[in-house]
A and B are shown apart, each in its own frame.
Chain A
Amino acid sequence: MLLREVEYVKPSSLADALAALAANDGARALAGGQTLINVMKARAASPDVLVDLNGLDELKGIELAADGTLSIGPMTTYAELVGSAEARARPILGEVCAQIADVQVRNRGTIGGNLCSNDPTNHLPPLMAAVGAELTIAGEDGERTVPASAFFLGVYMTAVQQGELLTRITVPAGKRDGFAAVTLGVDGTCIANAAASLDGSLRIALGCVDAVPVLVEAGSPDDVRAAVRAAKLDPPSDVHASGAYRAHLAEVLAERAARQAMR
């Protein structure tokens, strides 16, 4: 309701989408719209062109390789991932997606949108960092793949540059994962969260405490709190939590996620 006037294109191929994005610095990709449209309603952002990705089948679908690697199209909705038999190969993905907001949002919101918007309170940036996902980015000049640990650059900023799109999310095999959060209401916005994955050692990614997920490693759950403390977090304060409370939650939730991963 009441957006500024905006041009809208709905390309039918990835190449057309990339061309449309490259053609105008004011062009923005529209995935599920659960963040972007609200931002536009508030007129906090006013793109010149919306490039709607909803017609691009190549950005959809979940494939499970023989070695257990999952390949997830970024336009997969949370609900599709929750319902996907393939995605059960890495159960934590569906478990976390099932606790994002409500049914309506899960039916529209996408995995790629969650990652590319990189709001520090989002669920999936720390989760993908913990599970060691790799993210494929395409531009008119070709494709590159970056690890999740290098994908998130700042608040609302990722390695996806203007004129590029996230085209594939690759999640390695594994089952020993955990996720813990304190949220604003049941399935609400995260006040703090932590994702953990056991792959030799414990890799833990902390959300809501910095502009990008903070990665810490620990040998066992007993060492997690010390590892978090060593990261010397300086989380932001806002109306929902003081920085000190978030720093405290980061320790508690990191340990909980780690213990879940060890189960």
Chain B
Amino acid sequence: MTTVAPQVEIGRSTLGESVPRKEDRRLTQGQGVFVDDVKRHGMGYLHFVRSPYAHAHIASIDVSRAEEIKGVYGTLTGEEVAALTDPFFQIAGAPGGQIKDFSLAVGKVRYVGEPVVAVVAETRELARDASELVEVEYEPLPALVDARKALDPEAPVLHDDAGANLMWEGVYEWGDLDAAFAEADRVVRIPELHFHRFNSTPLECDGALVEYNRGTGQWTIHTNNQFPGFAAIMMGPAMRTGLDKLRFVTQDIGGGFGNKITSHPQLVVCCLLARKLNRPVQWTEWRTDFHLSMSHGNERWFRETEVAVKDDGTLLGFRTKALDDAGAWLRYEPLGGVIWAQVTPGMYRWRNIRVDFTQVATNKAPVSPNRGYSRMQHLWFTERVIDIVARELQLDPVEVRKRNYVRVEDMPYETPNGCVYDSGDYAQMLDIALDLIGWDSMNDRRADAAARGKRLGVGIGSTLDSGTNNFGQSRLINPELQFSGNNEVATVKLDIFGEIVVTLGTTPQGQGHETTAAQVVAEILNCSVDDVHVRAGHDSYWNSHAGFSGTYASQFAVTGLSAVKGATEMLAAEIKKLAGAVFGGVPADALELADGGVRIKESPDAFLPFMACGAIINANNAGLPDDLGVTLNCRYVYRPPFQVPDVERKFGNLTLTYAAQIHVAVVEVDPETGYYDIVDYAAVDDCGKRINPQIVEGQVMGATAQALGAAVHEVFSYDEDGNLLTPNFYDYHVPHALDMPRLQTGYVESPSPFTPLGTKGMGEGGGAGIHAVCAAIQDATGAVVTTSHNPYHRVWELLEETA
């Protein structure tokens, strides 16, 4: 942990150094400002009345008893929402696009915990008390919980507007499947694999404080939504207002992991009530609310999988039918139906692939992006396939991987669907990981474990963290959509006293953007990291964001830092231009930046400190040349080099960078109980150029902890009536410090040839832990592991299978 903040030496590169995080001082001293810290005079607290049923008609709602209580400011019902707003824009075309999604339930509830009525009162307690007086009469309907039954003719239908529970379907096929299966020595068949439902449980749940300005018709939304650009394009049309009327403000966010992308319905409710009640409205979501209703990760089934393989373990291709359970609403979906295609072949060289992708609605909480979004499910699938194939062919999983990994000499490698893996040496990473866990002595350790009555298992998880989306991939879901490319913004300026001030378009949630941005600025301006002031958080009124701004999808190290680099280079050029003029016509290439200013290389005494530069432009500019063209306030928009994908062939480069992770888990299973310990663990990452290795390592460790939690304990489990059985930390066990194994990390740096700094995004590779644990359990028990979630009782069942 960072304990001291030494001055960073001026004039020395810090790119690649673990510079202490600028954010940590305020965060470790309790001086961060999170959304629940924001207070306003006279604000009312919002509490949601939520559905106790998974599926029911709403016969009537009576808020009168609640509204009679002194201190209750008012309520909002679905009926009002339906009158005051339009349904949210749907990413899907028909049939999913026909559903009508409002910010409160209208006419019907579709999952337990769905917001039905909002009550605002003088205190949180009173809002909750009053909520209990809201009378909602329900007429229960049969619930649909199992996605595999969603398309049965007798299945209850969630959305009459869509006609059935099918939300989206698409066939992805590349290469020549018939030829691959004809060439195969063997076809490995896997009837069914299941990736379970969980999410990343940020410590801070969602929240907002919303103010409405009657005079300007403008809302100020203090919120921890992590992708305000997306929230704005969802909310503006629904609320029938221009985006400039929606001001998003954030300082510190206590974790997001994608789970905080889809809070726009709740934000609309806050906005409507702030206007209706003419007072600020505050909403803080509780843990149980979050678990019940916000942002589950996509649950996915892979059925009728067939894999074409040669006897030597060469993988030729596969086909599978993916069935994705979106829950009750398509809040960010069906983008999960294409996002997985960023990593279509996993890390392997098979060229013939077919995926029939179907997404359905069920009476469960809506899904949303969750760290590793949609790629994690698919990569878990490909890793399961590799290990099941290896088992069937009685080959070493290490050898099967090495035989089929994309090789370093193939880089950059174009996948069958046109994605370009930019760089990396996966086999080398695997060797490092195996070395870290002591692969060479594994036979001895197996024997040692056996002598203690335990069964040892080793498992590998290989993943890619595809970063920097090409939003053109949304057209593979819906060709009518007019999104493509990506962008991010940074502004770097010299203020009047020479302060270097950086404004980002992003909404960091612990990723250390202030620190790494300062490292890049210091590198270019040749100054100390400590002299660079990066504004904390996000404010859309700073005018420093673009359509895709936000913090999501493993992209800051590429999009954010490239924008910072571009803006700083603009500023450096302007400083030289100004100094050249001040020095009486010295050309820029005769100048250099050093020691907090600009000087003439050949006569360093001719020195203009940044303070003088800032003062001249801002406050002492008489006599400067008319055509100087210098503001010392430079805004740069980074736009990655993307083309619009070919919608017909579903072909194109869907993301710019491919960080890679190889994790290896060693487990010891108690054969009598199914209980297991992860006794050794290695995580090797390659995210290209690392700007700040400590921040990278923090991401790796956190993501690994989440993966191990998901692999062993975490599941959103529903009973047949659609009740969530794990609605809070009583039954939803996230890993504590004591649950974590000894975690060894290693790294390789393969700079991306496609990014200005050689960086790759890297926040989401932790899913490798799930794959590694599954493989280790398969190794230890000898049974085929078919689900991503393997608590002890499941392992005991596997042991019973093989007994």
Contact = CB atoms under 8 A, between A and B. Distances in A.
B796 A245 contact: yes
A191 B792 contact: yes
A2 B124 contact: yes
Contacts of B172: none
Given A186-B739, A187-B738, A240-B791, A4 B733 contact: no
B719 to A, nearest CB: 9
A66 interface: no
A10 B381 CA distance: 58
Contacts of A242: 793
A248 interface: yes
B713 A185 contact: yes
B288 interface: yes
B154 interface: no
Nearest to A253: B673
Interface in A228-263: 238-242, 245, 248-249, 252-253
Contacts of A248: 673, 796
B792 A182 contact: yes
A238 B792 contact: no
A102 interface: yes
Interface string B664-708: 000000001111000000000000000000000000000000000
Nearest to A191: B792
A102 B673 contact: no
Contact of A184 (B288, B717, B733): B733
Contacts of B286: 1
Nearest to B716: A239
Interface string B381-420: 0000000000000000000000000000000000000000
Contacts of A26: none
Interface stretch (B340-348, B501-509, B640-648, B724-732): B724-732
Interface in A192-245: 238-242, 245
A185 B128 contact: no
B125 interface: yes
Contacts of B797: 245
B88 to A, nearest CB: 30
Contacts of A252: 672-673
Most B CB within 10 A of own CB, among A4, A38, A185, A253: A185
B125 A239 contact: no
Nearest to B715: A239
Contact of B725 (A182, A186, A239): A239
A43 to B, nearest CB: 8
A186 B733 CA distance: 10
Contacts of A184: 713, 731, 733
Contact of A182 (B673, B717, B735): B673
Given A2-B128, A239-B717, A188 B733 contact: yes
A185 B726 contact: no
Contact of B675 (A4, A5, A182): A182
Interface string B710-750: 00010101000000011000110101101100000000000
A189 B730 contact: yes
A100 to B, nearest CB: 13
Contacts of B125: 2-3, 5
Contact of A185 (B124, B673, B725, B736): B736
Sort chain A's interface into a size bin: 20 to 34
Nearest to A242: B793
A238 B793 contact: no
B499 interface: no
Contacts of B725: 238-239
B731 A239 contact: yes
Interface in A155-195: 182, 184-189, 191
B135 interface: no
Contacts of B713: 184-185
A14 B673 CA distance: 45
Contacts of B733: 184-185, 188-189
* Of listed B288, B735, B739, residue having the most chain A CB within 10 A: B739
Contacts of A239: 715, 717, 725-726, 731
A245 B793 contact: yes
A60 to B, nearest CB: 28
Contacts of A102: 736
B288 A42 contact: yes
B425 interface: no
Given A238-B725, A248-B796, A186 B738 contact: yes
B104 to A, nearest CB: 21
Contacts of B796: 245, 248
A112 to B, nearest CB: 22
Contact of B793 (A1, A240, A253): A240
B129 interface: yes
A117 to B, nearest CB: 14
B735 A185 contact: yes
Contacts of B738: 185-187
Given A4-B129, A184-B733, A185-B733, A249 B673 contact: yes
A185 B793 contact: no
A7 B286 CA distance: 25
A189 B730 CA distance: 8
B129 A185 contact: no
Contacts of B739: 185-186
12 contacts: A1-B124, A2-B128, A182-B675, A185-B733, A186-B738, A186-B739, A187-B736, A238-B725, A239-B715, A248-B673, A249-B673, A253-B673
The 6 closest A-B pairs by CB, nearest first: A186-B738, A239-B725, A245-B793, A185-B733, A252-B672, A239-B717
Interface of A: 1-5, 38, 42, 102, 182, 184-189, 191, 238-242, 245, 248-249, 252-253
Given A3-B125, A184-B733, A241-B792, 8 more contacts: A1-B286, A2-B124, A2-B128, A184-B713, A186-B736, A189-B733, A191-B792, A239-B725
